[in-house]
Chains A and B, each alone.
Chain A
């Protein structure tokens, strides 16, 4: 099964609802018929990594889990995904598209 490692920032003052995004992302992929395992366990081998930063500062990008190296990484940075500005309402749609491209 395709496994996505989910890494959350500390969530001190997020500009987006980090948890809701991940839950709705999982639901959205499931409804499309994709069996994807989402894990927050840092030790487990993964196929792709989703960094869920609450804001553009993106603390997570400074400290990635070692086992994530070499895998595709998507970085949600508040209302940005990687280096593109996005609306919070569009984040799930964009993430679904990105993750489907890895499968």
Chain B
């Protein structure tokens, strides 16, 4: 069971012919399109590092299906060690790319579907889990990157999916055939969609009986007939057509390269259908996926923080203020916030548990806390990065003006810094910090894996507030405190009556 290298992954995409549109044009060659290449490179890193002995320990895993070595991005976690290694892998890849490497959505989809199909089968006697295991085997054998497609376009959010004016704002089953289902609908902002081999879909929310046809999960090749991708815009995206310098991270891009996926009467054979109407398991699938995915953010975004902290420190040094106390203070704040998020994601992994399927899940409460912290702290550490970088990150001239003999020389002098730092290098680093702190990466940290309100709902649900009330009642003396009574050797009332009596006697002695 061979794993692909980064180069092999990119070349493997040539065999696919997905229908992709961008800026009003059909893009037939995904691999060589300059607008897409940074995203392909970032995803390729998830393949490449699995081939390096120095990263193999966390980038590969042993398949529970075959016992063979596989890329960890195709693995179903079967122990706490797997959960921990997964987030270590996220941090590593964030450090290596400085952006989203896209493949974790599919990984979390594989795990969530594995867990949920087992539970569906237990209740209904269906065979979704066996089907899914066969599919998973294919994913592992071919080292595929599946795009995890959860979020629907959703239309009027006050209405349930089945009540929408336009039925296709949610993905749904149009027809059930003997050999499969016909589906239509729209999934929005799907990460890594155009450079994935497969698409695996999941419902986006809890469904009710009337939404039965919207309770659907399946996998299809990315170039299946009837599937259309519309690649989304990002902040400053066309800078990557203006040379190398201006984009800031020309190698790996900004965020994940999201796309809208439109399904028009797409046929899915039953062997690749993992939920078809079991609306009572949509909550489990959504929450299981969300738990896995929210835990990731304490890994990948911290990897990005490592890069931006390093970049900020470098800029301060180049500007001759590396030892200034306010700079050291800001860098320390950035580090403390990043490591707080890292602690959260390690905690939710170490506190994971075995599900009935045998697969392991993270601690959902702690995963949601992880992501909620990310929605705030990424903004804060990027704000400090901008603060340290200075106003230059929004006023830098273009690469073309640096190359122009008329303006280039004086610009090189203007942007010089401390001895040993070239103007070009200073501009490169400023562009990197601009790319990471000004662009689409910020709202991605806010809304990716669900918006803050979604995390708060999950945190509130799992907080066990009644037990906290019991704790407070016990210490306040409203509820019986068995441990206290054991310590004092009598019931509380007797104890406090005796204490009051002693206080009275003492008062008499004092006064």
* Contact status of A84 and B467, CB under 8 A, knowing A57-B351, A57-B363: no
The answer to whether B353 and A83 touch across the interface, beta carbons within 8 angstroms, is no
Task: Tell me whether A9 is interfacial, beta carbon within 8 Å.
Answer: no
Instruction: Give CA–CA (A39, B353) in the complex, Å.
Output: 27
Contact B353 A84, beta carbon cutoff 8 Å = no
Is B163 interfacial (CB-CB < 8 Å)?
no
Q: Considering only CB atoms and an 8 Å cut-off, how many residues of chain A contact the other chain?
A: 11
For chain A residues 56-78, which have a beta carbon within 8 Å of chain B? 56-58, 77
Chain B interface, DSSP helix/strand/loop, else mixed: loop
Partner of A83, one of B351, B356, B464: B356
A-B contact count (CB 8 A): 22
B356 contacts which chain A residues (CB < 8 A)?
A: 83-85
Q: Are A56 and B353 in contact (CB under 8 A)?
A: yes
CB distance from B157 to the nearest CB of A (A): 30
- Per the 8 Å Cβ criterion, residues 5-19 of A in contact with B are 14-15
Q: Is the CB of A15 within 8 A of B467?
A: yes
Interface flags, B21-46, vs A, CB<8A=1, else 0: 00000000000000000000000000
| Complex Cα gap A83–B118 (Å) | 12
B residues less than 8 Å from A56 (CB atoms):
353-354, 363
Task: Write the nearest CB–CB distance from B21 to chain A, whole angstroms.
Answer: 44
Q: Which residues of A contact B192 (CB under 8 A)?
A: none
| Contact residues in B for A77 (Cβ distance below 8 Å) | 353
B277 at the interface (CB under 8 A from A): no
For A84, the chain B residues whose CB sits under 8 A away are 356
Give the docked Cα–Cα distance between A15 and B354 (Å): 16
* Interface set of A (CB-CB < 8 Å, partner B): 14-15, 55-58, 77, 80, 83-85
Q: What are some 22 contacts across the A-B interface (CB < 8 A)? A: A14-B467, A15-B464, A15-B467, A55-B351, A55-B353, A56-B353, A56-B354, A56-B363, A57-B351, A57-B352, A57-B353, A57-B363, A58-B353, A58-B354, A77-B353, A80-B353, A83-B354, A83-B355, A83-B356, A83-B358, A84-B356, A85-B356
